[in-house]
């Protein structure tokens, strides 16, 4: 039987996994990447001789990658060293209050009891049990399913599982549901932040996003050498499996024949032909015609109002004074709802932003010399309007001033030596047609999870992978999207039906 040829566009997480899975099943795979390195959003910014992770910084669901490597006949541990953390994150407020959360549920319980009292600590245990239940209910019926819907969810659950579906609060808003477990507004603020992992507002996202808490409690890992090493590890294994990985290749057009995807034309005029094409890019790029007018109808466009969060990020080499940092740190203002109102309703940079800092030379222990400059990624949420208008210098300067002022009120002073700023306009250039949205479509309302594009498009032999497609954003979810794309592609190509 002749070997099927597949082109994968984009060496982000979804594209790398799709290419690897297809090659390990005997397909002839060509992976085309516009950049000079793999990773997509899992990117690095270089400052002098230092490489700083400037994309995703939290690594969870290690088992997803263990399965992917095992299916290719390899061991994850042979390609990347992952160290577990004991402290998930350090949280701070401007009046000096701090709260660390731990992978050990009992330690988090005791920390919350000291922070807000025994009743709130008991609420945390009940919240954690709800998060576990939501995850277990949705793992197979939603996360691993090609194109879930409310009907397929009920069908998969069966009569015995309908009560489980009802208990996961599918129609409730996260912020309201958190009130069932926490009276302390700062705990609601802390656990509401899990909505931002999907680029969404806790005041509009469904309560099912509580499952993120369970995912983190099951393990957060530190890739030695940085997050970008995971992309490099997948690229290495893919090439060992026979994938032809071509960098600096800009795909200008997806080619059709008899209504089916049959290859691509590169910006330099070269045409590459195949039996199917996987697009590891934001679906908005397809809908905007960036891969040619003939494939615009493959997916529906995403209105600006439905875009997820973008960000302002500062990649820094800086000295730190005051509050000791861990790897993951979150600094909260007391005007939490104002932040999301500014972003999603007013399309402005927030005047009272939440600030996240990933201190990349630290683990979960306080032992770095504070006099040494260290690598930091500092992030605040922003509206995804990078294709509508760039933020004026005074707007960015104002946001930067309030950001670093909040850090100081929380007890941390930064002394930057050098930095690189990335804005929604910059992210829109990196990921065209998104406006800088980093998570695809926002998960607002219970229907949003079912309207995210799936792996199979309206055009035969054209498939999607990446964090903007089902099952959603984040490193493991983007990887699972690559698996789903490979699975349905294999099924379609090997089917005897037309």
Per-residue pLDDT of 235-290, as tens digits, reads: 999 999 999 999 999 999 999 999 999 999 999 999 999 999 999 999 999 999 99
435 lies in a domain? Answer: no
> What would the mean pLDDT of 168-189 be, rounded to a whole number?
90
| Phi, psi of 142, rounded to the nearest 5 degrees | -130, -60
Domain end, chosen from 168, 195, 218, is at 218
Give the model's pLDDT for residue 372: 78
pLDDT digits (tens, 9 = 90+) for 396-409: 999 999 999 999 99
CB 479 within 8 A of CB 467: no
376 and 454 within one domain:
no
**pTM exceeds 0.75:** yes
Tell me how far the alpha carbon of residue 22 is from its chain's centroid.
23
> In the predicted model, what is the mean pLDDT of residues 387-398?
96
Pair (211, 235) in one structural domain:
no
The confidence score (pLDDT) of residue 160 equals 46
Average pLDDT estimate for 82-100: 96
- The per-residue pLDDT of the chain, averaged, comes to 92
Look at residue 368 and tell me whether its pLDDT is greater than 60.
Answer: yes
Q: Please give the share of the chain, as a percent, with pLDDT higher than 70.
A: 93
pLDDT at 74 over 50: yes
Total domain count for the chain? 3
Q: How far apart are CA 400 and CA 161, in angstroms?
A: 49
Same domain as 198, residue 249: no
Assign residue 383 a region (left: φ > 0; alpha: ψ between -120 and 50; beta: otherwise).
beta
| 131 and 176 inside one domain | yes
Pairing of strands 251-257, 260-266: antiparallel
Our CA dihedral for 240, 242, 248, 249, rounded to 10 degrees, sits at -160
Any domain includes 344: yes
Q: How far is CA 284 from the centre of its chain?
A: 17
Q: Tokens representing 260?
A: 């089916």
Determine, yes or no, domain membership for 50. no
Of 394, 409, 427, the closest CA to residue 312 belongs to 427
Are both 366 and 447 inside the same structural domain? no
Distance CA 66, CA 476 (A): 11
Element (H, E) at 255: strand 251-257
Query: What order do you get walking across the sheet with 59-60 strand by strand?
Result: 59-60, 220-223, 82-84
- Residue 441 DSSP code: B
CA distances from 55 to 430, 439, 475 (A): 12, 11, 10
pLDDT for the residue 215: 94
- Specify burial of residue 383 (Cβ count, 10 A radius: 0-12, 13-18, 19+): buried
Stretch 83-98: mean pLDDT, rounded?
A: 95
Answer yes or no: is pLDDT of 2 > 80.
no
Q: What confidence tens digit (pLDDT) does each residue in 120-156 have?
A: 999 999 999 999 999 988 887 777 787 766 665 556 5
Query: What would the mean pLDDT of 59-77 be, rounded to a whole number?
Result: 96
- Assigned domain for 54 exists: no
Would you state the structure tokens that stand for residue 383, as one six-digit string?
């509206």
Q: What is the pLDDT of residue 498?
A: 45
Answer whether residue 280 is part of any domain.
yes
Q: What is the mean pLDDT of residues 297-321?
A: 95
Residues 290 and 243 in one domain: yes
Task: Check residues 365 and 50 and name the one with the higher pLDDT.
Answer: 50
Q: Identify the residue with better confidence: 149 or 372.
A: 372
pLDDT of residue 157: 53
| Res 168: pLDDT | 55
Shared-domain flag, residues 229 and 160: no
pLDDT value, residue 151: 61
Q: Please, which pLDDT band fits residue 446 given cuts at 50, 70 and 90?
A: confident
Q: Do 283 and 315 belong together in one domain?
A: no
Better-predicted residue by pLDDT, 365 or 342: 342
Say which residues have a Cβ less than 8 Å from residue 33's Cβ, sequence separation at least 6.
10, 11, 15, 245, 246, 247, 248, 249
Query: Which residue matches tokens 């939603």?
Result: 142
Q: What pLDDT is recorded for position 365? A: 75
User: Are residues 140 and 151 located together in one domain of the fold?
Assistant: yes
Of the candidate ranges 31-40, 159-168, 336-345, 474-483, the one whose mean pLDDT is the lowest: 159-168
Domain boundary among 218, 247, 263: 218
Between 7 and 369, the more confident residue is 7
- pLDDT of res. 162: 44
Write down the pLDDT at residue 165.
Answer: 47
Report the b/e string of 96-114 with b at 16+ CB within 10 A. eeebbbbbeeeebbebbee
Same domain, 76 and 29: yes
Query: 204 and 251: one domain?
Result: no
- Phi, psi dihedral angles at 411 (to 5 degrees): 105, 5
Residue range 200-241, pLDDT digits in tens: 999 999 999 999 999 999 999 999 999 999 999 999 999 999
Contacts of 210 (CB under 8 A, 6+ apart): 127, 130, 131, 134, 174, 177, 191, 194
Q: Which of 175, 197, 218 is the C-terminal boundary of a domain?
A: 218
| CATH, residue 268 | 3.50.50.60
Residues 212 and 299 in one domain: no
Question: What is the domain extent for residue 399?
Answer: 305-430
Residue 51 lies in a domain: no
- Contacts of residue 280, Cβ cutoff 8 Å, sequence gap at least 6: 8, 9, 10, 11, 12, 13, 14, 15, 16, 18, 40, 464, 465, 466, 482
User: Does the residue 97 lie in any domain?
Assistant: no
Helix (H, G, I), strand (E, B) or coil at 398: helix
- Neighbour count for residue 282 (Cβ, 10 Å): 32
Residue 99 lies in a domain: no
């Amino acid at each position: 039987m002749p070997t099927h040829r597949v082109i994968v566009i984009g060496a982000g997480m979804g594209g790398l996994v799709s290419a690897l899975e297809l090659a390990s099943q005997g397909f002839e795979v060509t992976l085309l990447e516009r950049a000079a390195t793999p990773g997509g959003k899992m990117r690095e910014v270089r400052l002098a001789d230092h490489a700083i992770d400037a994309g995703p910084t939290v690594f969870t669901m290690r088992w997803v990658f263990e399965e992917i490597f095992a299916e290719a006949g390899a061991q994850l541990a042979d390609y990347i060293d992952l160290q577990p953390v004991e402290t998930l994150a350090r949280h701070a407020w401007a009046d000096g209050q701090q709260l660390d959360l731990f992978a050990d549920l009992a330690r988090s319980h005791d920390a919350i009891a000291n922070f807000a009292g025994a009743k709130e600590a008991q609420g945390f245990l009940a919240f954690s049990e709800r998060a576990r239940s939501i995850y277990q209910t949705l793992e197979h019926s939603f996360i691993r399913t090609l194109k879930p819907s409310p009907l397929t969810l009920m069908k998969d659950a069966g009569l015995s599982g309908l009560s489980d579906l009802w208990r996961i609060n599918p129609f409730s808003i996260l912020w309201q549901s958190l009130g069932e477990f926490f009276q302390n507004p700062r705990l609601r603020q802390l656990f509401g932040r899990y909505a931002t992992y999907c680029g969404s507002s806790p005041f509009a996202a469904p309560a099912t996003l509580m499952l993120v808490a369970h995912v983190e409690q099951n393990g957060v890992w530190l890739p030695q050498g940085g997050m970008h090493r995971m992309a490099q590890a997948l690229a290495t294994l893919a090439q060992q499996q026979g994938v032809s990985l071509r960098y600096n290749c800009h795909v200008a057009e997806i080619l059709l024949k008899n209504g089916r995807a049959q290859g691509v034309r590169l910006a330099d005029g070269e045409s590459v032909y195949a039996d199917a094409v996987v697009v590891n890019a934001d679906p908005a790029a397809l809908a905007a015609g960036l891969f040619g007018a003939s494939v615009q109808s493959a997916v529906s466009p995403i209105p600006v109002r439905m875009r997820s969060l973008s960000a302002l990020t500062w990649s820094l080499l800086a000295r730190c004074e005051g509050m000791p940092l861990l790897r993951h740190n979150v600094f909260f203002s007391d005007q939490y709802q104002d932040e999301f109102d500014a972003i999603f309703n007013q399309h402005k940079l927030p005047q009272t932003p939440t600030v996240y800092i990933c201190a990349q030379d630290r683990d979960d222990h306080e032992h770095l010399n504070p006099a040494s400059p260290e690598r930091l990624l500092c992030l605040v949420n922003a509206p995804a309007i990078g294709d509508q208008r760039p933020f004026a210098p005074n707007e960015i300067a104002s946001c930067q001033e309030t950001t670093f002022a909040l850090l100081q009120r929380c007890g941390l002073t930064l002394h930057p030596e050098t930095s690189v700023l990335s804005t929604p306009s910059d992210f829109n250039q990196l990921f065209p047609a998104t406006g800088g949205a980093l998570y695809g479509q926002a998960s607002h309302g219970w229907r949003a999870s079912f309207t995210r594009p799936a792996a199979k498009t309206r055009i035969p032999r054209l498939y999607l992978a990446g964090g903007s497609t089902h099952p959603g954003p984040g490193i493991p979810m983007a990887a699972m999207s690559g698996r789903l794309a490979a699975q349905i592609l294999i099924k379609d190509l090997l089917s005897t039906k037309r």
